[in-house]
Structure 1
Amino acid sequence: MTCLETFQTYALRSLGIGERLLPKADITVCEQVVLIGSGLIWNIYFAALALFAGFFLATALAVAKNSRLWIIRKPAEWFIFVFRGSPLFIQFFLAYEAFVLLPKAGIDFNLFGIDFTATTRWLTRAWLGATIVLFLNTSAYAGEIFYGALRNVPKGDLEAADAYGLTGWHRFRRIVWPTMLRLAWPGYTNEAIFLFHATTLVFFSGFPAWRQMGDALYYAKYFADKTFNPFVPYPIVAGYFVLMSLTIITVFGLINRRLNRHLPQASRQKIRLRLNLIR
């Protein structure tokens, strides 16, 4: 089988399209590259969905934590503290236990308006259950980033808004929110990169892959077990993640340039890659 035929056969296998049987003998590097790249689609899905939804929740958390009313501020503070203070892998484990064991034990509960019962088995699948955990985790981290930026909005900008008669929602939308994003964007970019890297933990969590169509690490482990050579599939995974990190830096850099378009060139803060070795 040529490399082109391999691509046509396995490129979309992780989505259930193409050949179902995985190669078991005479495994080539091309097959490993194509199938690991196919699994990467799920990593991109986890990160993109969690990041998109988490952006809005993070903004709400930052505003709530900055509120003067304790009944609004305290829940936001505790939410951020719990999800930033506990390991992400433990959050995966606890969420899976909550989604599976509690309903089986006859303990039904409600979270964010969703009733969790023994019939909600779809919450135990990685495509949704793991995404919910990543969404909550990145919301907490991004919320703290946005809160720090919100606290550092220049007073001159707020005074200018008052001078123009901007109050309430108009003041927040036109002055506070854009400035907050401009200040927080470099840190938020690093959070987006880490979130994408954190999607590899889904493979080790209790959330099963749907019909064994897993992520990049799922296929990497398969090839490492079949070939007894981990020094080919795992570097391929690392290479894919490096390329995706560069893509995130490029896209977020363009957004950062848009946010800072009104500033002189020398005053614009550039985005730099700062990896978090420990979280």
Structure 2
Amino acid sequence: MEILIESLPRFIGATWLTLQITALSVFIGFCMALPLSVLRVSRSPLLSWPVYAFTFYFRGTPLLVQIFLIYYGSGQFVAQLEAVGLWYFFQNPWFCAVLALTLNTAAYSTEIFRGGIQGVPFGEIEAARACGMSGALLYRRIILPRALRVVWPAYTNEVIFLLQASSLVSIITVMDITGVAGEIATRSFAFYEVYLFAAALYIVIVYGVLWVFRRIESRLNTHLQAEAL
């Protein structure tokens, strides 16, 4: 207990860093996935195939490999990255961690949203078209809101998986919960106590995120609850 009490400030900072990396990756990945999912269901191969290639790669390779390629692999292109002013970012492990997690969750979320878009009943789309909606207006008012309600539980699971997978960023010296736990355990040899405490922190965060996303799901389905009453 003395080790855990002494290390509590470091664990608090690591918890904040874990939440920061996860939240930023989820937000940017969500903003990327929505337009990519629309392109993914396009009938034009010029629009759909590049997105398919993106999701094919990031869903088919381990996240750890993606992190290594972005962090260590970028070191082979220092001159090129310096020429365009990007080496400052790629030499920062925090930036590489966020970039890898963002691209990974964007790929998975794109396929989740694609399934939701394709699952929107055709009758609702035809009814919207009969009211004069088309193009971006149709997607904004009918298709995307309906698709989000359908896929929200699956998307919630994706966010949870990403939160848990964020522990891999400790491999590139990012001091998240797992990174701090590994350093403390290595110095104190209290592996069981330290990693059990880290696991407890992840459990608290995971169920906190679940509570937030269930509240959002409840708001998305408010009209269904009203109809049931």
| TM class, shorter-length | over 0.9
Are the equivalent residues in 2 in contact too, given 1:33–1:236 (CA < 8 A)? no
Matched residue SS, 1:53: helix
Find 2:181's aligned residue among 220, 231, 250: 220
Name which of structure 1's ranges 220-229 and 55-64 shifts more when overlaid on structure 2.
Answer: 220-229
Provide the residue aligned with 2:123 in structure 1: 156
Shift of 1:203: 0.5
Paired amino acid for 1:133? A
Distance 2:28 2:39 in 1: 17
Match of residue 165, structure 1, among 113, 119, 132:
132
Structure 1 residue runs of 5 or longer lacking an equivalent are 1-25, 268-279
Q: Please, what TM-score do these two structures have when normalized by structure 1?
A: 0.77
* Aligned position for 1:136: 103
Aligned-residue offset at 1:193: 0.5
Instruction: Give the TM-score normalised by structure 2.
Output: 0.93
Q: How does 1:110-149 map to 2 (within 5 A)?
A: 115=84, 120-149=87-116
- Equivalent residue for 1:46? 21
Shift in Å, 1:201: 0.2
C-alpha distance after superposition, 1:113-138 (max 9, x if no partner): x9366xx2332212211101110000
1:67-104 deviations in whole A, cap 9, x for unaligned?
A: 0111000000000000000000000111113322222x
Q: Deviations over 1:180-209 (max 9, x none)?
A: 1101110000000011111110001xx334
Q: Quote how far apart the aligned CAs of 1:265 are.
A: 6.7
Q: Does 1:182 align with 2:149?
A: yes
Partner of 1:13: none
| Candidates 250, 256, 267, aligned match of 2:211 | 250
TM-fit CA distance, 1:140: 0.1
- Are 2:152 and 1:208 equivalent residues in the alignment? no
Output the aligned Cα RMSD. Answer: 2.1
The answer on 1:81 being equivalent to 2:56 is yes
Q: Work out which of the two has the higher radius of gyration on C-alpha atoms and give 1 or 2.
A: 1
Identify, as 1 or 2, the structure richer in helix.
2
Separation in 1, partners of 2:182, 2:113: 37
Residue 262 of structure 1 corresponds to: 223
Contact 1:125/1:208 (8 A) holds in 2: no
CA distance in 2, matches of 1:145, 1:102: 34
**2:158 match:** 191
Cα distance in 2, alignment partners of residues 208 and 81 from structure 1? 28
Q: Distance in 2 between matches of 1:265 and 1:243?
A: 32
Aligned residues: 228
Offset at residue 27 of structure 1 (A)? 4.5
Instruction: Give the corresponding residue for 1:64.
Output: 39
